[in-house]
């Protein structure tokens, strides 16, 4: 049982937080979510209660499965490549003890702190059809494109993954580096003396010993990719060409802003919320499991 002075202390610390959180976060959200049961243009106070109509409509909307497929693509591609780069960099920096390591660590983290607007504008130019640096570099390797990378439905989705990976590699690298630095140095030395190759060391020592971190970052990757699918495509491709980079979040926003169907957009938002919550539960289950191991 709590003593009275403890209770006073707890309340004095907790009340301001709960008040602020309740008033400015929870209350507006619940107010917003109830719009999924209404038909609402979003720019007047005229609303019509339509029950579950908005949700029923989602079942018939064939753009939704298409956008989910795109989400799934980047949920696979972005994590895989980010993981490979981040782990490679972390291992390289810790194993080779290059004298400029500190610089790599500091610089590669930078994209993570940049505003997404800036990332988008940068990469729009990097990947652009006429002068894009990436297009030129591909040209050096004899790859000549018929259409610009972001202007071709076959490549746009993949091209969008590049800035997504670019933004997060440094962040994961630091997490892995932290975990690797905790590995007992003598293990590595012993392995070297036994004649283990660099790859063997990574495979049999590093990865197993930082597995816990890796497992958690996997979930993190998935959620990150899910969330990165908004601002970048919105600015860089506007969901195009031919809807090839339309994601569930961009579609929701388009429904609200272009079709003036706020109610329906909100219903899509509830759906996104359910997916996101599902992914968060998944992350909790995975991390809990790792504790039991």
Question: What part of residues 234-253 is at the interface with other proteins (CB under 8 A)?
Answer: 234-235, 237-238, 240-243, 249, 252-253
Give buried/exposed letters for 259-273 (b at 16+ CB in 10 A, else e): eebbbbbbbbbbbbe
CA–CA dist 59, 149 (Å, integer): 32
Q: Does 14 bind other proteins (CB under 8 A)?
A: yes
Instruction: State which of residues 75, 78, 87, 127 lies at the interface with other proteins (CB under 8 A).
Output: 127
Q: Does 185 bind other proteins (CB under 8 A)?
A: no
Contact 165, 121 (CB under 8 A): no
Residue numbers 211-230 binding other proteins by CB under 8 A: 212-213, 216-217, 219-220, 223-224, 227-228, 230
Q: Does 106 bind other proteins (CB under 8 A)?
A: yes
Residue among 113, 153, 124, 159 at smallest CA distance from 138: 159
Give buried/exposed letters for 80-118 (b at 16+ CB in 10 A, else e): ebbbebbbebbbbbbeeeeeeeeebbeebeebbeeeeee
Instruction: State which of residues 32, 52, 80, 184 lies at the interface with other proteins (CB under 8 A).
Output: 32
Instruction: State which of residues 33, 66, 76, 207 lies at the interface with other proteins (CB under 8 A).
Output: 33
Q: Does 292 bind other proteins (CB under 8 A)?
A: no
* Residue closer to other proteins, measured from CB, 33 or 76: 33
Computed on alpha carbons and rounded to an integer, the radius of gyration of the chain in Å comes to 24
- Return the range that interacts with other proteins (CB under 8 A); candidates 64-72, 146-154, 183-191, 201-209: 146-154
CA–CA dist 265, 271 (Å, integer): 10
Q: Does 77 bind other proteins (CB under 8 A)?
A: no
* Residue closer to other proteins, measured from CB, 2 or 143: 2
Would residue 115 be called left, alpha or beta, if left means φ above 0 and alpha means ψ between -120 and 50 degrees?
A: beta
Residue numbers 37-76 binding other proteins by CB under 8 A: 41-46, 60
Q: Does 291 bind other proteins (CB under 8 A)?
A: yes
């Amino acid at each position: 049982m709590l003593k009275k002075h403890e209770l006073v202390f707890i309340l004095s610390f907790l009340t301001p937080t709960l008040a602020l959180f309740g008033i400015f976060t929870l209350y507006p959200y619940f107010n917003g979510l109830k719009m999924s049961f209404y038909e609402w243009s979003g720019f007047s106070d005229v609303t019509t209660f339509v029950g579950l109509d908005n949700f029923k409509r989602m079942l018939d909307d064939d753009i939704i499965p298409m956008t989910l497929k795109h989400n799934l693509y980047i949920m696979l591609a972005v994590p895989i490549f980010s993981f490979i780069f981040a782990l490679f960099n972390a291992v390289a920096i810790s194993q080779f003890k290059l004298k400029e390591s500190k610089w790599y660590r500091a610089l590669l983290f930078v994209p993570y702190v940049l505003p997404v607007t800036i990332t988008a504008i940068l990469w729009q130019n990097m990947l652009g059809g006429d002068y894009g640096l990436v297009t030129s570099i591909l040209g050096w390797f004899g790859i000549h494109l018929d259409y610009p990378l972001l202007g071709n439905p076959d490549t746009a989705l993949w091209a969008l993954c590049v800035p997504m990976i670019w933004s997060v590699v440094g962040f994961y690298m630091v997490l892995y580096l932290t975990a690797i630095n905790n590995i007992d140095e003598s293990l590595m030395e012993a392995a070297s003396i036994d004649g283990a190759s660099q790859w063997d060391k990574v495979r049999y020592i590093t990865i197993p010993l930082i597995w816990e971190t890796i497992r958690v970052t996997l979930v993190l990757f998935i959620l990150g990719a899910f969330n990165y699918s908004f601002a970048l495509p919105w600015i860089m491709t506007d969901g195009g060409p031919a809807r090839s980079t339309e994601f569930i979040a961009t579609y929701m926003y388009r429904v609200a802003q272009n079709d003036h169907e706020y109610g329906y957009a909100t219903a899509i938002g509830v759906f996104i919320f359910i997916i996101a919550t599902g992914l968060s539960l998944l992350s909790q289950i995975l991390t809990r499991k790792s504790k039991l191991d």
